[in-house]
């Protein structure tokens, strides 16, 4: 059903503007435009596609501040984070601009002829983006997809479409062909579902909840359509007694409270070795209380509001009956504010097993290395995690033992556009990013030339 929906500034609770909600016919029209544009785009010499992506990157770079301010307004991201996110889009485009000239096939030895492979673009790729990181997650899909010779139809989340809309406009300003990068705003049940069911959308990339991801995967399976899924997380931040506890505690708030905890990679479980448990909590409390929550337009702000009133209610529900050790502070009044919270949890507690997607962290003790691995793996998710130890052998053993797609040692940073990213178990299917990401948006064609 077509119509409009109202965007709300999460820092004030006030309406921003009305956005069109596409119906199925409008979605089909966008896909048809993408089909037409893709044919000529794929036929360009690789260097021409590379130049076009670099031009797109330069155009984004020239509009970083504009994009950042839109993200502050629409998503409540702190301005420093929003500027980094906008710059990140340009960096991702520049990185994958090197891919068109490197999508080389293989020559395979055979008798009686020559056997070679080619990387052929799928055609049109449908990308469904969540509301937590609207720009960065979109770029992880559209940059390698375009580099591989595909057209892209992008559906941003209903709550946060403004930067995606602007990126679509900037693509045209940069000289990309009309129809090649279509942005369609609307509901997942209409636009997203049409990406899954439409025969001309030959691959779907979905980032969001595990429950919706299961439905996307099932729909794509019925169409025999490739799909990449980046889903939920309940990542562990494992702190051993031999670690630099001061550094680990100082890093922990950023690991879980960045973007108000609305991050599938958030280290929302801190697992601490028994002998260091009390000392770690002593160090963690001042770090949490120093975490600045406030006006996202203020350069000094570390964390803005949650995305909506309903989401705040969901996050608050995780504190019902919980043993809250201490909290940070947050503004009063309008806006969807929430003070960061540290909860002392037991292993069977809901807060220790389910994704909160908010600024709440559960702290649990463990006995030894084997117990740490068991506890880290005691969840349906397997996306990210951190390991803090001065013992290199332990770092290697634990990183091999924890069932997560991306891990970091003595750091909470594990997502980079030049390295593979993705989850295990209920956290996802397939991999994004890395030097081979453009190949994930192609089909391998094998051709045998007889010479006898």
Q: Among 71, 182, 230, 355, which one carries the catalytic annotation?
A: 230
Q: Among 85, 264, 265, 432, which one carries the catalytic annotation?
A: 264
Cα–Cα separations (whole angstroms), residue 44 to 52, 56, 136, 150:
10, 16, 27, 11
Q: What is the pLDDT of residues 40-90, one digit of tens each?
A: 999 999 999 999 999 999 999 999 999 999 999 999 999 999 999 999 999
Helix H segments across 5-78?
24-43, 46-62, 64-75
pLDDT at 414: 80
- 3-class state of residue 405 by DSSP: coil
Q: What is the mean pLDDT of residues 123-149?
A: 98
230 is known as an active-site residue: yes
Confidence band of 2 (pLDDT split at 50, 70, 90): low
Q: What is the mean pLDDT of residues 290-303?
A: 97
Confidence band of 169 (pLDDT split at 50, 70, 90): very high
CA distance 298 to 451: 69
- Secondary structure element (H or E) that encloses residue 381, with its range: strand 381-382
443 is known as an active-site residue: no
Q: What is the pLDDT of residues 399-432, one digit of tens each?
A: 999 999 999 999 988 889 999 999 999 999 998 9
Confidence band of 452 (pLDDT split at 50, 70, 90): confident
Q: What is the mean pLDDT of residues 96-109?
A: 95
Report pTM: 0.96
Q: What is the pLDDT of residues 233-248, one digit of tens each?
A: 999 999 999 999 999 9
* Mean pLDDT over each residue of the chain, to the nearest integer: 97
Strand residue runs (E) in 213-370: 227-230, 236-239, 269-273, 323-327, 341-344, 360-366
Q: Which residues contact residue 129 at a Cβ distance below 8 angstroms, ignoring those fewer than 6 apart?
A: 137, 138, 141, 154, 155, 156, 157, 164, 207
pLDDT at 333: 85
Cα–Cα separations (whole angstroms), residue 279 to 111, 284, 290:
68, 9, 18
Confidence band of 183 (pLDDT split at 50, 70, 90): very high
Q: Is there a contact between 266 and 300 (Cβ–Cβ < 8 Å)?
A: no
Q: What is the pLDDT of residues 298-320, one digit of tens each?
A: 999 999 999 999 999 999 999 99
């Amino acid at each position: 059903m077509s119509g409009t929906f109202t965007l709300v500034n999460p820092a004030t609770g006030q309406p921003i503007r009305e956005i069109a909600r596409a119906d199925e016919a409008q979605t089909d029209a966008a896909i048809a435009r993408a089909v037409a544009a893709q044919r000529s785009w794929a036929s360009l010499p690789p260097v021409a596609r590379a130049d076009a992506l670099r031009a797109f990157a330069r155009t984004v770079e020239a509009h970083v501040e504009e994009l950042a301010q839109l993200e502050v307004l629409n998503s409540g991201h702190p301005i420093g984070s929003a500027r980094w996110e906008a710059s990140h889009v340009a960096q991702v485009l520049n990185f994958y601009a090197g891919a068109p000239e490197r999508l080389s096939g293989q020559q395979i030895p055979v008798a009686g002829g020559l056997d070679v492979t080619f990387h052929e673009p799928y055609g049109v790729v449908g990308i469904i983006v969540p509301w937590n990181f609207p720009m960065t997650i979109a770029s992880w899909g559209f940059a390698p997809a375009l580099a591989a010779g595909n057209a892209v139809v992008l559906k941003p989340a209903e709550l946060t479409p403004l930067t995606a809309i602007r990126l679509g406009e900037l693509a045209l300003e940069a000289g990309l062909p009309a129809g090649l990068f279509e942005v369609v705003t609307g509901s997942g049940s209409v636009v997203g579902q049409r990406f899954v069911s439409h025969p001309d959308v030959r691959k779907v990339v979905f980032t969001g909840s595990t429950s919706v991801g299961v439905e996307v995967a099932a729909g794509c399976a019925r169409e025999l359509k490739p799909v990449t899924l980046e889903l939920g997380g309940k990542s562990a931040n494992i702190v051993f007694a031999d670690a630099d506890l001061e550094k680990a505690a100082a890093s922990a708030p950023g690991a879980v409270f960045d973007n108000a905890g609305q991050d599938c990679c958030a280290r929302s479980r801190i697992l601490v070795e028994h002998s260091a448990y009390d000392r770690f909590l002593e160090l963690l409390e001042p770090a949490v209380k120093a975490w600045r929550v406030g006006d996202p337009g203020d350069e000094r702000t570390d964390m803005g509001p949650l995305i909506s009133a309903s989401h705040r209610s969901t996050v608050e529900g995780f504190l019902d009956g919980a043993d809250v050790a201490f909290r940070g502070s947050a503004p009063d009044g309008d806006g969807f504010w929430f003070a960061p919270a540290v909860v002392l949890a037991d292993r069977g507690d809901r807060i220790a097993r389910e994704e909160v997607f908010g600024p709440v962290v559960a702290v649990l003790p463990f006995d030894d290395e084997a117990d740490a691995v068991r506890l880290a793996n005691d969840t349906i998710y397997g996306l990210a995690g951190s390991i803090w130890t001065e013992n290199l052998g332990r770092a290697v053993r634990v990183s091999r033992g924890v069932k997560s797609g991306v891990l970091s040692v003595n750091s909470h940073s594990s997502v980079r556009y030049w390295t593979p990213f993705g989850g295990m178990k209920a956290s996802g299917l397939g991999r994004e990013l890395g030097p081979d990401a453009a190949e994930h948006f192609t089909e391998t064609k094998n051709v045998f030339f007889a010479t006898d």
